[in-house]
Amino acid sequence: MFSFSLTRLNEPCSRYVLRAGGLALLIFAGVSVASANDSVTGATIGYTCMGCHGVNGQSPGPIPSIAGQSAERLTTQMMAYRDGSKSGTIMNRIAKGYTPEEIKAVAAFFAQQPAK
């Protein structure tokens, strides 16, 4: 469901995504949620990350920016935090809170944000 709705977004809406950041994604995510029942969208998870990683993943301070990185790289890193093969200060504890599908969805969300 996620990959379907996000892939669908990537193509025709990329202009909107770039211009309006998460807005277009959330509106579409809302639509996709209606058909995806109880799935959490990558956008919904993504907004909770911004408290540390900055607006749309563009960090203004010393916490790493995650906006505009490839979805593959973000997924690999989150999965490595999740299984403990990569050590962070706090990310191991946070990454364990998500399923692999949720990690892929939030990685796709931040991959769509303009890099800082």
Partner 1 sequence: MTMNRRNFLKTSIGVAGAASLSACSMNKMASHSGRKAHVVVVGGGFGGATAAKYIRQFDPNIAVTLIDAHANHVTCPFSNLVLAGEKTMADITMNFDSLRSQHDVNVVQGLVTEIDGVNRKLKLADGQTFTYDRLVLSPGIDFKYEAIEGYSAKVAANQMPHAWQAGSQTELLRRQLEAMPDGGLFIMSAPANPFRCPPGPYERASLVASYFKKHKPKSKILILDAKSKFAKQGLFEAGWQSEYPGMIEWVSMDMGGAVNQVDPAMMTVTAADVHKGNVVNIIPPQKAGKIAFDSGLTDQTGWCPVNQKTYESSLVPNIHVVGDSSIAGPLPKSGYSANSEAKICAAAIVALVNGRSAPEPSWVNTCYSLVAPDYGISVASVYKYEEGKTVSVKGAGGVSPKNGNKRLEAVYAQGWYDSITQDIWKS
Binding site for partner 1 (CB under 8 A): 21-23, 26-27, 29-31, 33-34, 38-41, 44-45, 47-55, 59-63, 89-90, 93-98, 102
Q: How far is the CB of 54 from partner 1 (least distance, A)?
A: 4
Q: How far is the CB of 49 from partner 1 (least distance, A)?
A: 7
Ranges of beta strands (E only) in 1-116 are none
> With respect to partner 1, which residue has the nearer C-beta, 40 or 71?
40
> With respect to partner 1, which residue has the nearer C-beta, 47 or 79?
47
User: In terms of C-beta density within 10 A (0-12 exposed, 13-18 middle, 19 or more buried), how is residue 83 classed?
Assistant: exposed
> With respect to partner 1, which residue has the nearer C-beta, 76 or 92?
92
User: In terms of C-beta density within 10 A (0-12 exposed, 13-18 middle, 19 or more buried), how is residue 90 classed?
Assistant: exposed
CA 36, 41, 44: angle at the middle one, nearest 5?
140
Q: How far is the CB of 62 from partner 1 (least distance, A)?
A: 4
> With respect to partner 1, which residue has the nearer C-beta, 12 or 60?
60
Query: Could you give the C-alpha distances from 51 to 1, 55, 56, 95, in angstroms and in order?
Result: 27, 8, 10, 15
Q: How far is the CB of 106 from partner 1 (least distance, A)?
A: 9
